[in-house]
Structure 1
Amino acid sequence: MLNRREFSLGALAMFAPAAKERMTPTERVSAVLKGRMPDRPPFSFWHHFHDEALPATKHAASTMDYQRRYHLDFVKVMSDYPYPKNTKGEWYELKPVESPFPEQLKALELINDGLAGQKYFLETQFNPWNVAEKLSSKEAVLRLMHDKPQSLLDALEAIAKSQANHVKAAIEAGTSGIFLSIANAQHGVMTLAEYRKYSEPFDRMVLAAAKGAPMNTLHLHGERVILDYFWKGWDVPIVQYSVAGTKFPMSEARRRFSGVLMGGLDENRAATATAEELAAWVQKSRVAAPKWICAPGCSIPDNSTDANQLKLSKVLHRER
């Protein structure tokens, strides 16, 4: 098994500067965060490795291999290790946990060593509502909201405090911020009033634990997400959503949000689209520049082939 020093040295050997690129990945993303035009749009993409049953060393190695092979400008670390379930009593009878994702934290430390400051990297966190759904089911959470609302609030608070503990440790481990996925703020899932009562306080608690991190990102997941509620009043530099899913153009998002927008590519088709289609999506999204990071609206299909992902990377590297 590799120790941290060996992992770091091996990862450094993976870096090879791309031809005709004037900026490093860190410089490119930093320029966007400061509202300056980079040499080309920074980009990244990701999918689930399905390695939640494997140790941190494997998860870190998969992450490092992926970002190296596709020459990503920043790394979104997937976070699929499960939240610890309650083994006594009801699923929602939870207490805060000091370190809910110990293997993920080990992986973040290895990734930080491996990247050695050459790229920003984000820790993914699914919001407390989504964690509750994974501990039970979507139906069970909604049922608890209607039948025992205080029990749900107590459970979400315990989860949020646990996640906040993890986020603070993740920032100490070197992450550049968190990628907070919010999937329940959608028409057809709950009303805005319900989101504000049962989810927003706990989402903000998780975000607060990463306050000041340069790449904190709100990922607004879903086709019917209540986008207008998130353009203002959230202390995050980056907002990401699916243009393809919501049919809400980046030009309209630019009018509403003054920070960095992430997205523009169809997450379902990015890996299989033609070069012409990719270029068209990029061109439509340029209206958000210079505060724009090119990315799919969510993770690309997990079964995306290596050849298709290489093609996607090459096309995005050529965009200026």
Structure 2
Amino acid sequence: MNTMNHWRRLEATLRGEFADRVPVALWRHFPVDDMDAGKLTRLTLEWQQKWQFDLLKFMPPGTYGVEDWGAKTAYAGAANGARIVTEPVVRRTEDWERIRPIDPRLGAYGQQNFALAQTARNLGGAVPILQTVFSPLTTARKLATERLFADIRCHPEAVDAALRVITDVTIGFCLEAIRAGAHGIFFATQLASHRLLTTAEYERFGKKYDLEILDAIRGQCRANMLHAHGDDIMFNLLSDYPVELFNWHDRLTDPDLRRARRHFPGVLVGGLNEHHTLLHGGRGAITHEVQDACAQTGGRKLIIGPGCVLPVATSDASIQAVLDAAQLAEAQAA
């Protein structure tokens, strides 16, 4: 089979056809440096040029969506490079009223799409780029931290009013990302978990607004990915979202890839345990996980990826082992 470029490989995978090899996409944070648009652009380009992944998940700091409303954030040394909220905006129920409309072309929101535009210009369309977008309920949790759960149950109208504003801002950000050169979005929800909310609660405060966003960009993207973060995710509730790709911690929580295939018709993204195997497993363990992911899916409609962002300590040797294993899986299938 002739070697494909990134787009042909992805497009064949989306159609459910065998490509020249199973596609690979890995992503990581660049802590502290990611707060500067120029540095984020440079590091993103270096990352993609070094590894030639088949899909580039753009990696803004995970707190960009709350800073323009006044939240204070910091990098506190998390292994995955993520920032934390040190001073939330919503401390009392009445603070939800502070969530007023903002312009996503400005401030922290605007900086992310400026960096994406610079990255896209340099890559010249050679690789699919997805901008990272957080669900409105995920943003609400970062604005209020754990207070969100009490207010959902005791003051739902206050939360709904804030979610209306957040949703509209998020839609504007998505449309700006597409104009900046994104080929789709990586839509991350961190609350679609049975450990955090009931199904009815997520349907009202989560899915309702999620689908508004996905509907607003319908027909304007070449591929969108849904990421469900955490344990005991509401996979069945999410499996009808209008996205082409679905990513979750398949090595750490149900369902595995084989069972997920029964519910989601699109491309599954996963197969790797980034917390253990990529850090401590060695080449043999990494090869086994890639081969097992291919076995579970028949090698179709699969992109090899992590359950979430890579630890910043992930070695070059581990990343190379993933790429080598993907080539090996293709050779064995042939």
TM-score, length-scaled by structure 2? 0.83
- Return the alpha-carbon distance in structure 2 between the equivalents of residues 54 and 256 of structure 1: 38
Any conservation in 2 of the 1:271–1:308 contact (CA below 8 Å)? yes
Greater shift in the superposed pair: 271-280 or 56-65: 271-280
2:312 is aligned with 1:305: no
Residue ranges of structure 2 left out of the alignment (5+ in a row):
72-88
SS class of match (2:276):
coil
Partner of 1:62: 43
Q: 1:140 to 1:21 in 2, by over 3 A?
A: farther
Contact kept in structure 2, 1:48 and 1:299, CA below 8 Å: yes
Higher mean displacement: 69-78 or 88-97: 88-97
Q: Please state how far the C-alpha of 1:196 moved relative to its aligned partner.
A: 0.6
2:85 is aligned to none
Name the counterpart of 2:10: 29
Choose the corresponding residue for 1:281, options 289, 292, 311.
Answer: 289
1:275 deviation in Å? 2.4
After superposition, the Cα gap between the structure-2 partners of 1:54 and 1:186, relative to the gap in structure 1 and judged at 3 Å, is closer
Give the corresponding residue for 1:121.
129
Supply the distance in 2 between the matched residues of 1:62 and 1:270 (Cα, whole angstroms). 25
Q: State the partner residue of 2:170.
A: 163
State whether residues 117 and 180 of structure 2, in contact with CA within 8 Å, keep that contact through their aligned partners in structure 1: yes
Match of 1:293 in 2: 303
Cα distance between partner residues in 1 of 2:321 and 2:272:
14
Q: How far 1:77 sits from its partner (Å)?
A: 0.4
Point out the more displaced range, 75-84 or 34-43.
Answer: 75-84
How far is 1:270 from its partner? 4.1
- 2:112 and 2:26 map into 1 onto residues whose CA distance is 20
What 5-or-longer segments of structure 1 have no aligned partner? 1-19
Aligned pair 1:184/2:172, yes or no? Answer: no
Q: Counterpart of 2:181?
A: 174
Structure-to-structure mapping, 1:200-279, within 5 angstroms: 200-212=207-219, 213-232=221-240, 234-272=241-279, 273-279=281-287
Distance change (3 Å), C-alpha of 1:307 and 1:158: same
| Match 1:108 to one of 88, 113, 116 | 116
SS at match of 1:218: strand
Q: Which moved more, 1:182-191 or 1:223-232?
A: 223-232
Q: Tell me the secondary structure at the aligned position of residue 35 of structure 1.
A: coil
Query: After superposition, where does 1:70-109 map in structure 2 within 5 Å?
Result: 70-80=51-61, 81-83=64-66, 84-86=68-70, 90-99=95-104, 101-109=109-117
DSSP 3-state at the match of 1:211: coil
- 1:143-158 alignment, distance < 5 Å: 143-158=150-165
Listed one character per residue, the Cα deviations across residues 119-161 of structure 1 (whole Å, up to 9, x for unaligned) are 0011111111111122221x11112212321110111111111
| 2: CA distance, partners of 1:96 / 1:163 | 10
Q: Once the 2 structures are TM-superposed, how far is the Cα of residue 209 of structure 1 from its aligned partner?
A: 3.0
Query: One-letter code of the match for 1:300?
Result: L
Letter in 2 for 1:50: P
The 3 A distance-change label for structure 1 pair 147 and 168 is same
Distance in 1, Cα, partners of 2:303 & 2:319: 18
Q: Quote the offset at 1:38 in angstroms.
A: 0.4
Task: Provide the secondary structure at the position in 2 that maps to 1:274.
Answer: helix
Aligned-residue offset at 1:186: 0.7
Q: Relative to structure 1, is the Cα distance of residues 21 and 295 closer, same or farther in structure 2, using a 3 angstrom cutoff?
A: farther
Deviates more, 1:49-58 or 1:277-286: 49-58
Given that 1:250 and 1:284 are in contact with CA atoms closer than 8 Å, whether structure 2 keeps it comes out as: no
Contact 2:26 2:305 (8 Å CA) reproduced: yes
CA separation of 1:303 and 1:164: change in aligned 2, threshold 3 A: same
SS across alignment from 1:179: strand
- Contact residue 13 and residue 302 of structure 2 kept, 8 A: yes
Q: What secondary structure, in the 3-state scheme, does the structure 2 residue paired with 1:256 have?
A: coil
State the distance in 2 between where 1:146 and 1:291 align. 39
1:175-224 Cα deviation digits (max 9, x unpaired):
11111111111112000000011111111122223212122111111121
The letter for the 1-side match of 2:318 is: N
Query: Match of 2:115, SS?
Result: helix
What CA distance in whole angstroms lies between the structure 2 residues aligned with 1:56 and 1:141?
30
> What is the alpha-carbon root mean square deviation over aligned residues?
2.1
2:200 aligned residue (172, 193, 197): 193
The residue matched to 1:255 in structure 2 has which SS?
coil
SS at match of 1:245: coil
CA contact (8 A) 1:36 1:291 kept: yes
What residue is the counterpart of 1:15 in the other structure? none
Q: How many residues align?
A: 299
Task: Name the % identity.
Answer: 28
